[in-house]
Structure 1
Amino acid sequence: MDIKAVFFDLDGTLFTSTRGVASSTRKAIQELRKKGIFIGIATGRGPAFAMPLLEDLDLDFAVTYNGQYIFTPKEVIFDNPLERKTLKKLMTYATQNHSDISLGTAHGVNGSGLLKFGETRIAGFLSGLLPSSTSGVARNSFKHIVRRVLPQNEDLADDEEEAVYQAMMVATKDETSRIQKAFPELLVTRSNPYSVDLIPQGIGKLPGIRRLGEKFNFELNQVMCFGDSENDVSMLTGVGYGIAMGNADSEIQKIATYITDTNNQDGIAKALAYYGLISYSAEKDFTSKDPNFNKVKEFHRLMDGKTQEIPRAFPPLEASFRAGFKVEEIVEFLYASAQGDKERFSKQVESLHLDIEKAVKKVERKAHKEDMLTGEVDALVDLLYFTYGSLVLAGVDPYEIFNTVHRANMGKIFPDGRPHFDPVTHKVLKPDDWEEKYAPEERIKKELERQQRVALKKQTK
């Protein structure tokens, strides 16, 4: 078969439900590259979010904001800002209808905190935290296009002259037709049930892919696309091979050339293998001597559909996500210690920021001789050791408490037998009866009270 380019949607497609990229997908991309096949992403997210993926996965190009902003690691191919009068009309509409709205610029998303989730963190990652060891594409990209992707002025987000490429508005599916009627000059589409993306008519993922084909010499019938949502319809139906993920909406599956497995079950690799573009074989699980590790692995197998079986390093983007999860727990730890005292909690958070700044300066002075995997695992095990150390200093035996938390996490399965994920944050959702059946706090409290009673009895003997 004559496939010259493959494009992936991001959320629900290239990303697993826990916002990682499956190892089978990474291997598949490497095989495609060896065959000289172009590889790109086509997403409703913006260039600041897509940029590190091009470096991480060694991709050729990105169609972002649903075709409004298209770029390679070296240049911007196409950018098409929304007209100012349309933006003013949108802002008026959102205000009158009490709808949250966000505006997508080259550097990220401004507006609703819900809708800009992930964008600003990635923008910060790009502008300041990209490690010096990062190779080729990202470093060269900074020289060539980062000033267009990431404006230098920190206050540019408040500058009304900054170009806006896409508007996002919180809206249910029932509201779609009303919004479309109010804005006939715009295409109203969506990638999740909670919000709509608004771009000019005549723009979309398919026209974006066509533009890249004209520049890189491939036809639409030589393209394979993967997607799962409404904003993927045009590209799935307009290219030679439109692949719907197993987790895609039923309407998307009906129009697809082929339906593969889910994003958590190696769907991309399986489809590419089905069409003979790569070879694919499932990997065998391993069991650790650490029982708690095996319990957490069981959780990830349940939620992700599979687990990582060959040691590998987290690339910068995924490492950033994992660090974010840990930071949230650290903040909760501080909040619990403040016991409702907002001023004390604020000072603790301020101190945490200072500690991070000190740590950054300390780490930047280190000579990085170790490889990425060794360095990451060393840091993760140190975190684990510090956590055990904190429990030792608190006099708490974590065994039964860990089992309680594990049971609670394993209870996040819905009546349909599957986990459900927030389409925006990608966190695992809790079934309606989860608090009643599985919430761990009360069980943790009772176990701690038991441990205190036993310890006090020992002290009085």
Structure 2
Amino acid sequence: MTRKLIFFDVDGTIYNSRTEIPEATHQAIRQLKANGHILAIASGRAPFTLEKVCRDTEIHNFVSFNGQYVVYNNEVIHENPLDIEALRQLEEQAAEREHPMVYFTHNDMVSNVNHHEHIEKSLSSIKINHPRFEAEYFERHPIYQALIFHEASDDVLYDNQYDALKFYRWHEVSRDVVPSSGSKAEGIKKFAEKLGIAQQDCIAVGDGNNDFEMIAWAGIGIAMGNAVDGLKASADYITAHVDDDGIYKAFKQLQMI
């Protein structure tokens, strides 16, 4: 079989509903590596919040921040920070609506408020503590991704209002903020180009709203059984639920393990 470049989302794909890695997933990863395939993480998470999953899976290549910061073999091969003027406009309008924000560099995160229950609720769901407060942080540091915190009913206040920004809902009270030109697909393209691997030899596995572009671009797009309905509709293959060894079953079905 031709060597494949395989990208895994983290939350809801590698991590199950208890934020644990099933033993069958570990087994699939080991067998895929042994069979000569190249594996990478493709996540909305920041690099410093990927350290544990990278260590536990021994996958050290990653597309982070939904494609905005890409690392292969400890080398940063792509960076795409957010537009500072767009962030100024967004923060001003979010503050008027009492919608807090969190900003990420490649190695740090800060909040623009001291504390907010929506930040606590959403970040604790992926075992991340409420970040510290620091005013105007984005004015002094390159920001690769931000989070904005509000109910889904307020999505309309932000969608299609900023030429340089787009939003992905990942939690009932939180959305990722990324460059309008960015996506996981753009990140995995940079990765494939670096390695000289063709699009048809790329496989992507995911479950969330931020996985649409990646699943569509890859030669084979796999949706987890727990994926959002739209992602299932656009995937080439739907595997079992993450809590039912979905990764292992997918690659067994593809006869890659």
Q: TM-score scaled to structure 2, two decimals?
A: 0.88
Q: What is the distance in 2 between the residues matched to 1:203 and 1:25?
A: 29
Which is higher, the Rg of structure 1 or of structure 2? 1
Q: What is the distance in 1 between the residues matched to 2:138 and 2:63?
A: 25
| RCO higher in structure (CA 8 A, sep ≥6) | 2
Match of 1:406 in 2: none
Identity, % of aligned positions? 29
Distance 1:184 1:35, change over 3 A: same
Matched, 1:267 2:246: yes
Match of 1:23 in 2: 23
Q: What is the distance in 1 between the residues matched to 2:46 and 2:9?
A: 12
Matched, 1:165 2:144: yes
Q: What is the distance in 1 between the residues matched to 2:88 and 2:135?
A: 18
Distance 1:79 1:119, change over 3 A: farther
Question: Higher strand proportion, which one?
Answer: 2
AA in 1 matched with 2:19: R
Written as runs of structure 1 = structure 2, the 5 A alignment for 1:27-38 is 27-38=27-38
Match of 1:106 in 2: 106
AA in 2 matched with 1:192: H
Question: Deviation of residue 28 (structure 1)?
Answer: 0.7
Question: Deviation of residue 47 (structure 1)?
Answer: 0.5
Written as runs of structure 1 = structure 2, the 5 A alignment for 1:50-199 is 50-111=50-111, 112-117=119-124, 118-119=127-128, 160-199=139-178
1:231 to 210, 223, 230: 210
Match of 1:208 in 2: 187
Assess if the C-alpha contact under 8 Å between 1:243 and 1:259 holds in 2. Answer: yes
Matched, 1:10 2:20: no
Assess if the C-alpha contact under 8 Å between 2:65 and 2:145 holds in 1. Answer: yes
Gaps of 5+ in 2: 112-118
Matched, 1:217 2:196: yes
Q: TM-score scaled to structure 1, two decimals?
A: 0.50
Q: What is the distance in 2 between the residues matched to 1:212 and 1:244?
A: 21
Question: Deviation of residue 66 (structure 1)?
Answer: 0.4
Assess if the C-alpha contact under 8 Å between 1:168 and 1:196 holds in 2. Answer: yes
Distance 1:120 1:79, change over 3 A: farther
Q: What is the distance in 1 between the residues matched to 2:172 and 2:163?
A: 21
Question: Higher helix proportion, which one?
Answer: 1
Matched, 1:244 2:223: yes
Q: What is the distance in 2 between the residues matched to 1:182 and 1:156?
A: 24
Q: What is the distance in 1 between the residues matched to 2:139 and 2:128?
A: 19
Q: What is the distance in 1 between the residues matched to 2:239 and 2:23?
A: 17
Gaps of 5+ in 1: 124-154, 279-461
Secondary structure, in 3 states, of the residue corresponding to 2:12?
Answer: helix
Q: Deviations over 1:186-208 (max 9, x none)?
A: 12222233322111122100110
